Homo-oligomer: A and B are copies of this chain.
Amino acid sequence: MTDRACEAASSAAPQRLRRLPSWLIIRLGGPANRLVANRLGRPGARADYALLASLEEFGPHSQAELGRRLQVDRSDMVALVNYLEEEGLAVRRRNERDRRRNAISITSAGRRALADLEGHVDDAQDELLAPLDPTQRDTLVALLQQLVDHHRPPHRTPGHDV
């Protein structure tokens, strides 16, 4: 009996961690990542979805702009744009008004891929938030948005866009 009580608790996290926001958020990163990646079929597809959403919503970007929007390092953006280009989901041209920059644009195939990915991403959200009702989900999203906004690095806007 006491043995069974001990066993039942033997995989519960310590209270110090269960009450710790940073621990909860970091722990939840695993399932969040895994559920989305499983639905999308490929580990890196989460980043592709982010790029395509940004391109579709705001139009052409330089790679540095994409990086600032999505909080991805410039150096890591290269491979991501390479992939979209190879798959025909985006095109990379020269920006003739500022020839340091590339101008990345979404293609029609990219829009179709975005719409397809979106359904799977939404399914993953339902799995991730399964125990919460719609009101709780809204509350959670609103709170997380405040935190993400607060921890966004200071805004540096150099030249004109694209």
Residues on B with beta carbons closer than 8 Å to the beta carbon of A14: 50, 53-54, 56-58, 69
Q: Is A131 an interface residue (CB 8 A)?
A: yes
Among listed A32-40, A75-83, A84-92, A93-101, interface-contacting one: A32-40
CB distance from A49 to the nearest CB of B (A): 8
Cα–Cα distance between A25 and B65 once the two chains are bound (Å): 22
The answer to the question of A42 belonging to the interface, with a C-beta cut-off of 8 Å to chain B, is no
Q: How far is the CB of A34 from chain B (nearest CB, A)?
A: 9
Q: Which residues of B contact A26 (CB under 8 A)?
A: 29, 32-33, 46
Q: Which of B16, B24, B33, B139 sits near A53, CB closer than 8 Å?
A: B16
Complex formed: what's the CA distance from A46 to B17 in Å? Answer: 11
Residue of B nearest to A114 (CB): B16
Partner of A7, one of B36, B58, B160: B160
- Chain B residues lying within 8 Å of A65, measured Cβ to Cβ, are 10-11
Find out whether the CB atom of A11 lies under 8 angstroms from the CB atom of B54: no
The residues of A with any CB-CB pair to B shorter than 8 Å are: 3, 6-33, 35-36, 46, 50, 53-54, 56-58, 65, 68-71, 118, 121, 124-125, 128-132, 136-137, 139-141, 143-152, 155, 157, 160-161
A-B CB proximity, top 9 nearest: A24-B144, A31-B151, A22-B32, A11-B68, A16-B53, A29-B29, A14-B57, A14-B53, A7-B157
